[in-house]
């Protein structure tokens, strides 16, 4: 991961960390600071440091929709240590750093159904809630009941919120500490079977073996970017080590040694072609 470790604070932090190791694109430039809090107190300490230094802050789970194109002079707060899961009947509370694979496994083991559509999405709970991750007609925020968040150094609970397609209920500056979901009871074998079914659908239709950030652009009504990108003959287009997937045109994949600029160039090419057809695509991938 590189960088120097500092021990002047309780929370562990590193300097000049390459995001290549922390984003699902397996590409990314360096960030000035990365914090690794393990407790709420350490999380507050990290945020206080950033506020004093007037640093822009991003919270990080699996990094499945981020692309750091230039060196980021701000700070990234790595939430992966917030990975606990607890259950009470049909209600489940988990840390923002829990990945969806682990959450799905826990749900199956405990007979909680509803989240199977998300099996195979390489996201953390924090990232999934922020963008209201969904697939195959399901959305994660449909099961969300309350959140514990940090904003401006204050931790508080939210149980009233709204969400929409690919837009979750986290507001600007809020970091998800934990989320509480409510599911229905189900049989373990049926849940596992649905998980396998959805995973197989992904493997059949998506470039599952290559590094990517999933769908690059959002759907809008009847406008399906992947279908149009294919129709425009852009499927398989390469720039450096990046390519518009020849399996699913909505994905940009890293063929092995893609630079973040290669990926951004492909994104911008698609956007320019779309504008030529009178359309404006909205990015799902957040470019820093």
Query: Counting every residue, how long is the chain?
Result: 288
Chain position carrying tokens 């922390």: 22
| Among 42, 166, 178, 245, the one annotated catalytic | 166
Could you confirm whether 187 is annotated as catalytic? no
DSSP reduced 3-state for 56: coil
Chain position carrying tokens 């309350």: 146
Could you confirm whether 178 is annotated as catalytic? no
* Cβ contact 141:113 at 8 Å: no
| Among 59, 118, 124, 215, the one annotated catalytic | 215
Could you confirm whether 164 is annotated as catalytic? no
Instruction: Give me the phi and psi of 84, to 5 degrees please.
Output: -85, 150
* Cβ contact 116:134 at 8 Å: no
Count of alpha carbons within 13 Å of 280, Cβ hemisphere only?
A: 0
Give the residue among 173, 178, 216 at the shortest CA–CA distance from 74.
Answer: 173
- 251 pairs with which residues across the strands? 215
| Among 42, 45, 116, 284, the one annotated catalytic | 284
* Cβ contact 79:39 at 8 Å: no
Give the active site residues. Answer: 166, 215, 284
């Amino acid at each position: 991961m590189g960088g120097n470790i500092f021990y002047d604070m309780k929370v562990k932090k590193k300097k000049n960390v390459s995001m290549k190791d922390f984003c699902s694109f397996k590409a990314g430039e360096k960030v000035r600071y990365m914090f690794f809090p393990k407790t709420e107190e350490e999380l507050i300490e990290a945020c206080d440091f950033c506020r004093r230094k007037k640093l822009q802050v991003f919270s990080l789970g699996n990094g499945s929709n981020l692309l750091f194109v230039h060196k980021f002079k701000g700070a990234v707060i790595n939430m992966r240590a917030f990975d606990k899961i607890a259950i009470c009947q049909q209600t489940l509370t988990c840390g923002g750093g829990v990945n969806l694979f682990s959450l799905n496994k826990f749900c199956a083991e405990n007979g909680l159904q509803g989240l199977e559509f998300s099996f195979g999405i390489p996201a953390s709970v924090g990232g999934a809630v922020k963008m209201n991750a969904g697939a195959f007609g399901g959305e994660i925020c449909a099961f969300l009941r309350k959140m514990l968040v940090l904003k401006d150094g204050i931790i508080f609970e939210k149980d009233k919120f709204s969400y929409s397609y690919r837009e979750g209920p986290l507001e600007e500056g809020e970091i998800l500490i934990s989320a509480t979901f409510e599911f229905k009871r189900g049989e373990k074998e049926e849940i596992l079977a649905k998980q396998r079914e959805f995973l197989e659908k992904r493997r059949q239709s998506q470039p599952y073996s290559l590094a990517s950030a999933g769908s690059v652009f959002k759907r809008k009504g009847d406008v399906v970017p992947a279908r149009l990108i294919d129709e425009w003959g852009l499927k398989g287009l390469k720039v450096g080590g990046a390519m518009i997937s020849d399996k699913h045109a909505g994905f940009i994949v890293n063929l092995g040694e893609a630079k973040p600029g290669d990926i951004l160039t492909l994104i911008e090419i698609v956007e320019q072609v779309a504008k030529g057809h009178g359309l404006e695509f909205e990015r799902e991938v957040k470019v820093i």
